[in-house]
Each structure stands twice: as structure tokens, then as C-alpha cells.
Amino acid sequence: MDRNTKDFVFSFALAALGAYFAIEGFSIYKRVAGPPFKIEKLSLSPGFLPFVLGILLVFFSVLLFISTMKGEKDFGTAFVERWKVVGKWFADASRNKEYYFTIGAVVIMFIYSYLLLSVLPFWAASLVFLVGIFLYLKAGVWWKSIIVAVAAVVLTVVIFKYCFNAALP
Amino acid sequence: MALQYISTAFATVFQPMNLLVMCLSTLAGLVMGMLPGLSATMAIALLTGLTYNFPTQTAIIALLSIYVGAISGGCQSAILLNIPGTPASAATALDGHPLAKQGRGGLAIFLATTSSFLGTFLSVIFVMTLTPVLTKLALKFTSWEFFLLSIFGILICGTITSTESQIKGWIAGILGLMVSMIGLDSVNTVARFSYGNVNMMSGIQLIPVMIGLFGFPEILKAFKLNNDEQVIPSSKFEAKEGFRLMGRNMVKVIRSAAIGVGVGIIPGVGEDTAGWLSYWATKSLSPEEEKKTFGSGNPRGVISVEAGNNACIGGAIIPVLSLAVPGSAPAAVLLAAFYMHGYRPGPLLMTESPSFLYNVCIYIAIASFCTWLLALVLSKGTVKILGIPKKYLMPIIYTLCVIGSYLINYNMFDVKVMFVFGIFGTLLTSLHFPAAPFLLGVILGPMCDSNLRRALNLSDGSLAPLVQRPICIFFLVLIVVMILAQLGVFKKLMGKKA
């Protein structure tokens, strides 16, 4: 996908985020207008800056969107064509092994950060993570991957736990 | 009084433990700066979490040393590998790598490290002289001015760091400000965007955001890399020739240092811009005949880039100390680290902790000398690290990112925040949105919000003081002119007139 099309798609997401922020900012103002705060002016409420930021984001997203459509003679056709390009990109991406490979690595990192570290001590979680990701990335032969992982974990634990006296996860 | 502070700073830094920490941090910085993908920002962000338990002065020494080391270290991979270790050294590769190809890699490294040392050292003089002046000026600032200053900082950072449309830089800044809105507000303690989550009520911690934003995309990038880069072995340093060249080019070093400091003072604009501008200045001021030699191994190219990007260190620290506004992305992390270690940079710094300015200056000056010495003595060994396969190195770096995020609050929530912002950082990078304004938005968000709220409370919700105070008018005019200029309004007006 070329940069223009990326910006085209992202401008919609940004505008939606901006609109959500503005609405949420305004609802904060509505919330604090009642007791116990009784802040009656929007400019004095804690929702004022989020409200302004939301509007600004919508404004700049529209500018970004316009910049992606610059030079297009037939706006309607160009608009539809862009979405077709996006659809084609998704279709191509679903067949691209490189994407799946990277997503796989991100999933391993996610499992380590969200699950392994919650149930295992740091050294065990890190060892499982490092061996797993080294093998997944085909960093080297399996025994070399295990040696590097063990060495890295031992060194990290010794330095942080014993030298820096830090409590590890 | 200043002399007393300086002598105390010297005494502190020469304590055996602090000296050892300085050497180790400098070395770590050199190595991290040398490795493509590990930036100075990431190095400081990682170390910030790790220095949490250190005595304050030791921690400050470690953080400043790794900063200086990382910016200097980037030149070695730029010269020997043609891949800059940090963005700051991107311009060094232009002439450094051709020199290495000619078998003069040692001379190029000698010139780069010596210029780095001189650039940093000269910038320290600027820090010592300009910071108190700026601090005095900043004392005239009220909440309105601080609010506008933070907006101006984010806008100018977005303008300068965007490689494409400036709108993208501004959007990144707004997104950063939005992230800083999460949590209890500073005036009425009303929960905003926290969805009943206790962790989110206390706000999003800066360090995990920074580690994720800058570290994660680089880690993912390395997973795709084919490690077939050729490292050119470093030759002899040719120290005699190196010193002769340095002596002949002192004017260029001073000019580049001045450019570096100037660029550093501009909020959010980093060492890479300083390096390119210094290179451009030296090239454009050279005789026509010499201009042709730039890009094919001109030592002056290496000297000016390295003096410029390292002088940016001092430049970036000036607004950190005087206004609490970071001059570059690494300086932004440093600001967060200063807060974490109990210092409150800003207009009151010279009143509350006057010794801090001199401590910082002396630590940077000695760290730069330490970097020069270590870079030259250990360069033969350290460049071997460039051969470590990234697929082994980067997952290990990720475990360090986890530790760095966790140690801030000893809370697993921060590790999760780091991961989420890592994904977000990768998205920003792939969409060519600059990360620096986003980071600046997260950092300056609380300052922006609390000052605006305070100011509005004092004026009973009226925005009129914005156009009644001279400094406010100055900032407003700057902001409006900058936005209109970037949107091409002036060009269109000029076109209509013509």
C-alpha cells in the first residue's frame, strides 16, 4: 500500500478517535456539572482540554484526508478506488508469509508479557520466551539457542537481582 | 558559589564507585549506540528503570554517561558498516564509510570520536552560560505562558521532525497529549479515560511508553533483517594525522558545535537534525573544488557531523533544565529520569537546587572525555559486537525492556503498557508519523493541562489573558504563523498578489 492510501485509511481512524475524545470530554463536563463538583463552565471542567484535543484531531484528520485526495479530478471515483486498493492490500497481505512471520513473533512477545510473566518467575518465563523465540526466528541451531538463552537469563538475573538489588517480576 | 558547586561536582564524580559507573555506562552507551536499532533514547529509557535503586548522583552520572556514549557510539557502525548506529550518525556514514573503504577507517573513527568529545565539551560551556539566563527569563512565565510554551514545543517538534507532511507531526503531538489525559486530573481529581481501572487512574507512566515506542519497532525490524552486512575491519588510528586534521578544522568544530547547541535548544528536534545541518553548513561554506569531495571520504564531513550531533546533547539539556521542556527525544527521557530521581527542572531549578546545573555540566564534560578514551582504547573489541546476529540480540533486549518497564513501579501493568505502546509505535513508524512529537505530547501533557486549568480557574474560565499578556501574544503569533506557513497560506497569498 502506498503512503497516500495509508494516510487515507488512517485519517478515518484518527477522525473517529478525535470524535470519541471530544464526546468523552464533553460528557466529563456534563458529569462534573452536577454535585459534588458543580463546575458549570466547560472551560473550567477537566473535560475541556480533551474536548479541544478531540476537535483538533478531527480537524487535522480532515486536512490529512484532503491532502491524500489532492490532484484527483473525480473525487467520487478516486474515493472508491482508494478503498479498492485497501481491499486488495488486505487480500495480498493475507497471502504474505513475511507478515505472518512477524505477527507470530509479536504473539510470542505478547504471551511472554501478558501470560508467562504473570504465572512464572522472571527467570523461568524469560528462559521459555528466549528459547521459544530463538527457535521460531531460526536464530541458530537448537543447542546454541538454549545455551544463549540460559546465559542471557543467568546474566540478567545476576546483574539485576544481585548487583542492582532489584526485585524482578 | 559556582566554583564551590563545580568542585563538589568534581569530588562526586571522582568517587571510585561513581567513576566506575560512569565508565560502565559510557561503555554501555557506546555499545548500544553502535548497534543499529538501539538508539540513545532507548538506552536512557532502559537505564532509567534500572537506576531506580541507585543513589541519586550515581544515577544521574549513569544516565548522562550513557547518553553521551550512545550518541558518540553511533559513528563506529556508520563508518565501518555504512549503517548508522543511531539516527544522529546518519550523516557520518556519508564520508566516514568511503574513508573506511579507502583503508582509513581508523582515522575516520579517531576524527569522529575526537570531534564528538570536542562538540560535547563545547556544548557544556553553552549549558553553563545559557541555562541561568533562560531560567531567569522563565521566572516571568505564568500558567498561560507555560501552557503556550508546551503547545509551541509540540508544534515545532512536529513541524521539524516530519519527513513528509507537517500535519502528521502535529497529529502525533495531539495523540501524545491525549495519552497524557488518561488518569485523574490534577485540579479536581476527576477520573478521565480510565474506565474504572485503578492502574489507569494513576495515569500512563512515561518510561514504559518510551521504551515501547522506541524499542519495540526496532526489535521487530531486526526480526526481518538479513544479517549479511559487511563490517569493514578498522585500520590504525593515524593519531598524528588525526590531531593535525583536528587542529586545522577547529573553526568547523566550533561552528558545528554552535549549530548543534542551537538545534538542541529547539524542543523535540534531535541530534540527527544537528548532524545534517552541521554537515550542510560545512559543505556549503567550502570552496567549490572541495565541495565535490564531500560524500567520497572528506574528513571534514565526519568532523562537522560528529561535533554537531554531540553538541546537541548540551543544547537539548538547556531547555530541560531551564524550562522543563526537552530539546530532543533522549533529553525527554532524561527529563523524566530527573523527575524520578527527585529533581524538578524548570524556572525554579536555580533557586531550589542550584548545584544541579553544575553537576550536570561536569558529569557531561567528564563523560565525554571518558567516551573519547574508551572509544579509542576499546574500539577494536567493541566493533566485534556488530557481528552479533540481531535475532539473538533483539529478544534479549526485549527482556531488558520488560525489566526497565517493570522496575519503575514494580507493576506488571507497566509491562503491558510498554507492549501496547510498542505496537502503537510500530504502527506510527510504518505510517511515517514521527514518534518524537508523540513523546513530547505525553511528556508535556501534564504541564499543558495543569497550567491551562490553573490559568482558566484564575480568569474564571476566560481566555482573554491569552491576548493581554505580551509573552502570550508573542507565543500566539509564533504558533499561528507557524501553522499558516506550513499549511501554505502565505504562499497562496503571495501567489494571488503576483
From chain A, pick out residues whose CB is under 8 angstroms from the CB of B487. 63
Q: What are residue B184's DSSP bridge partners?
A: B191
The answer, for A167 touching chain B at a CB cutoff of 8 Å, is yes
Mean pLDDT computed over B350-372: 91
> Regarding predicted confidence, which is higher, B232 or B119?
B119
Say what the pLDDT of residue B231 is: 57
**pLDDT score of B360:** 93
Confidence category of residue B37, pLDDT binned at 50, 70, 90? low
CA dist., res. B13 & res. B19, Å (int): 6
Partner residue facing A166 (CB), from B192, B223, B407:
B407
Cα gap B418→A109, rounded to integer Å: 11
Q: Confidence band (pLDDT; 50, 70, 90) for A167?
A: confident
Model confidence at A145, in pLDDT bands (50, 70, 90)? very high
The alpha-carbon gap from A34 to the nearest alpha carbon of chain B, in Å, equals: 13
Residues sharing a CB contact under 8 Å with residue B131, sequence separation 6 or more, in sequence order = B318, B321, B322, B350, B357
pLDDT score, position B112? 92
Q: How many residues belong to chain B? A: 498
Least confident range of B238-252, B261-275, B338-352, B391-405? B261-275
Residues of B in contact with A129 (CB under 8 A): 395, 399
Contact between A37 and B53 using a beta-carbon 8 Å cutoff: no
As a whole number, the mean pLDDT across chain A is 88
Question: What does the pLDDT read at residue B268?
Answer: 64
Choice between B4 and B496, residue whose per-residue pLDDT is larger: B4
State the best of A53, A102, A131, A161 to mutate against chain B, taking most chain B CBs within 10 Å. A53
pLDDT band at B38 (very low <50, low <70, confident <90, very high): low
Residues A91 and A12 occupy one common structural domain: yes
Residue B233 is predicted with a pLDDT of 65
Q: Give the pLDDT band (50/70/90) at residue B498.
A: low
Q: Are residues A15 and A84 in the same domain?
A: yes
Q: Which residues from chain A sit within 8 angstroms of residue B410, using beta carbons?
A: 167
The dihedral through the CA atoms of B405, B407, B412, B414 has a sign that is: negative
pLDDT confidence tier of residue B422, bands split at 50, 70 and 90: very high
Stretch among A14-23, A105-114, B90-99, B223-232 having the lowest mean pLDDT: B223-232
Asked whether residue A169 is assigned to any structural domain, the reply reads no
Q: Does A28 touch chain B (CB under 8 A)?
A: yes
What residue type is assigned to position B307 of the chain? A
ipTM value? 0.92
A63 — contact with chain B (CB < 8 Å)?
yes
Total number of domains constituting chain A = 2
Predicted pLDDT at B174: 95
Please, which residues bridge with residue A59 across strands?
A: none
Q: How far is CA A43 from CA B181, B279, B479, in A?
A: 16, 47, 21
The pLDDT of residue B322 is above 80 = yes
For residue B316, what is its C-alpha cell?
A: 537539548
For residue B10, what pLDDT is reported? Answer: 93
Last residue of a domain, one of A95, A129, A153: A95
Instruction: Quick: pLDDT tens for B149-158.
Output: 889 888 887 8
User: Average pLDDT in the B345-364 region?
Assistant: 88
With respect to residue A11, please indicate whether it lies within any of the assigned structural domains: yes
CA atoms of A149 and A143, how far apart (whole Å): 10
Q: What is the CA radius of gyration of chain B?
A: 22
Its domain, for residue A146, covers 98-163
Residues of B in contact with A99 (CB under 8 A): none
Q: Same domain for A78 and A124?
A: no
The pLDDT tens digits for B202-228 are 889 877 887 788 778 878 887 775 545
Rg for chain A, CA atoms, rounded: 25
Residue B269: its pLDDT value, please? 67
Q: How many CB atoms lie within 10 A of CB B311?
A: 36
Domain presence at residue A64: yes
Q: Please tell me whether residues A102 and A89 are part of one structural domain.
A: no
Identify the band that residue A153 occupies on the pLDDT scale cut at 50, 70 and 90: very high
- A32 contact B CB<8A: yes
**pLDDT tens digits, B236-269:** 777 788 889 899 999 999 999 999 998 888 776 6
Residue B229 has pLDDT above 60, yes or no: no
Closest-CA residue in chain A for B189?
Answer: A46
Cβ–Cβ below 8 Å for A60 and B174 = yes
**CA of B451: which chain A residue's CA is closest?**
A49
**Same domain as A87, residue A13:** yes
Residue type, B243: F
Q: What is the pLDDT of residue B182?
A: 95
Query: According to DSSP H, which parts of B383-411 are helical?
Result: 390-409
Does residue A25 carry a pLDDT above 90?
Answer: yes
The pLDDT-based confidence of B120 (bands split at 50, 70, 90) is very high
User: Over 90: is that where the pLDDT of A106 sits?
Assistant: yes
Residues of A in contact with B418 (CB under 8 A): 113
Helix (H, G, I), strand (E, B) or coil at B141: coil
Which has more confidence, A44 or B390? A44
Note whether B188 contacts A134, CB cutoff 8 Å.
no
pLDDT, average across residues B130-140: 85
User: How far is Cα B138 from Cα B39, in angstroms, rounded to an integer?
Assistant: 31
Mean per-residue pLDDT for B140-151?
Answer: 88
**Is the confidence at residue B273, as pLDDT, over 90?**
no
Which positions in chain B touch A57 (Cβ < 8 Å)? Answer: 171, 174-175, 178
Report the percent of chain B where pLDDT is more than 70: 94
Q: Which of B193, B398, B460 sits opposite A24 (nearest CB)?
A: B193
Residue B226 confidence (pLDDT): 54
Specify the range with the lowest mean pLDDT, choosing from A31-35, A65-69, B160-164, B459-463.
B160-164
Q: CA–CA separation, B409 vs B456, rounded Å? A: 33
Contacts of B463 in chain A (CB under 8 A): 43
Percentage of chain B lying above the pLDDT 90 cut? 29
Boundary residue ending a domain (A48, A75, A95): A95
Q: Residue B415 and residue A169: Cβ atoms within 8 Å?
A: yes
Measured in angstroms, the CA of B391 and the nearest CA of chain A are apart by 5
Same domain, A107 and A88: no
Q: Does A60 touch chain B (CB under 8 A)?
A: yes
State the average pLDDT over residues B176-181.
Answer: 94
d(CA B156, CA B269): 8
In a domain? residue A106: yes
CB contact under 8 A, B190 and A139: no
Rounded to 5 degrees, what angle do the CA atoms B48, B51, B54 make?
150
Q: Is residue A151 part of a domain?
A: yes
- Are residues A91 and A108 both part of a single domain? no
The residues spanned by each domain of chain B are 2-458, 463-498
Residue B44 has pLDDT above 70, yes or no: yes
Contacts of A31 in chain B (CB under 8 A): 190
Q: How many CB pairs under 8 A join A and B?
A: 153
User: Mind telling me how many Å the CA of B131 is from chain A's nearest CA?
Assistant: 31
Q: Which residue of B has its CA nearest to A145?
A: B392
Instruction: Residue B402: list chain A partners with CB under 8 A.
Output: 112-113, 117, 126, 169
Whether A168 is in a domain gets the answer: no
Nearest residue to B53 (alpha-carbon basis) of B333, B341, B332: B341
Res B36: pLDDT: 64
- Mean pLDDT rounded to a whole number for chain B: 85
pLDDT for the residue B403? 85
Kindly indicate the confidence band of residue B183, based on its pLDDT and cuts at 50, 70 and 90.
Answer: very high
